[in-house]
Each structure stands twice: as C-alpha cells, then as structure tokens.
Amino acid sequence: MFNSLNRSSNSVLVVDDNGINRLLPGLILRPFGWDVYEVEGGLSALEFLKTKSISCLLLDISMPDISGLVVLDSLRSNKKFHNLKVVAYTAYASNEDVERLISIGFDAVLIKPLTSLKLLNVLKSS
C-alpha cells in the first residue's frame, strides 16, 4: 500500500523537544528507506537546514527555544524552502487550530500520539 514511500531520496527532519516524539517517526520511516534526522528545538532545526536538504519537516509547535510557528515563518520567507513540505507535529489541535495551521503555511497537521498510519498517509499525500 505504501510502496510509493520506499524512495531512498526521501528524508525527514523531526523537530521536537521530547525524545520519544523524535524517535517514533524514524522507527516508522527507516524501513521504507527514509533518512531520518532529529533535533530538539527550532533553533537547531534552522541551523540544520542551512547545510542539509530534506524532503519533509515534522515540526513541533510548542518548544522551549522558539516555536514551530517562528520556524515556519522563517522558512516560508526564504525562497530556498518554498517547496519544503512542513508538517505541524503537535499534541493538541482542534479543527479550528488545524485550519489555522494550514492557512499560515503548514502543509499538514499530525496530532500526537503519532501512529504509523497517520504518518504514512501524510507523507503519501505529498
């Protein structure tokens, strides 16, 4: 069903201040040939993206250093990242929150706890 995800050129950066939330996407995606990188905050994500290209960014909204909203704004204002798929990765989002996150530039919203099916469906739609 998800054979289209098995492309070695796909890579994802998981940005979350919680180690378990960073670990799980890698466990799901590596068997499909994805390269999975992890950082624990927004500032680290911006530094990482200065030197490495990725296919998708899973971005926590609430982090201690800078929020995912600030990271998204920085990325969307840079032409280099206009085609980067950015997915909000959050513990809670009402229907209104999801609509707002999409309207400000996120491509999708994943609500924790993450499941394989949720993650694979979001990536399949890219």
Whether residue 123 is predicted with pLDDT greater than 50 in this model: the reply is yes
Per-residue H/E/C for the chain: CCHHHCCCCCEEEEECCCHHHHHHHHHHHHHHCCEEEEECCHHHHHHHHHHCCCCEEEEECCCCCCCHHHHHHHHHCCHHHCCCEEEEEECCCCHHHHHHHHHCCCCEEEECCCCHHHHHHHHHCC
Whether residue 125 is predicted with pLDDT greater than 80 in this model: the reply is no
Tell me the mean pLDDT in the region 95-114: 95
Tell me the mean pLDDT in the region 68-95: 95
Hey, where are the domains in the chain? 3-121
pLDDT for the residue 126:
58
Share of the chain above pLDDT 70, in %: 92
Tell me the mean pLDDT in the region 59-75: 96
Q: Does domain 3-121 have CATH number 3.30.450.40?
A: no
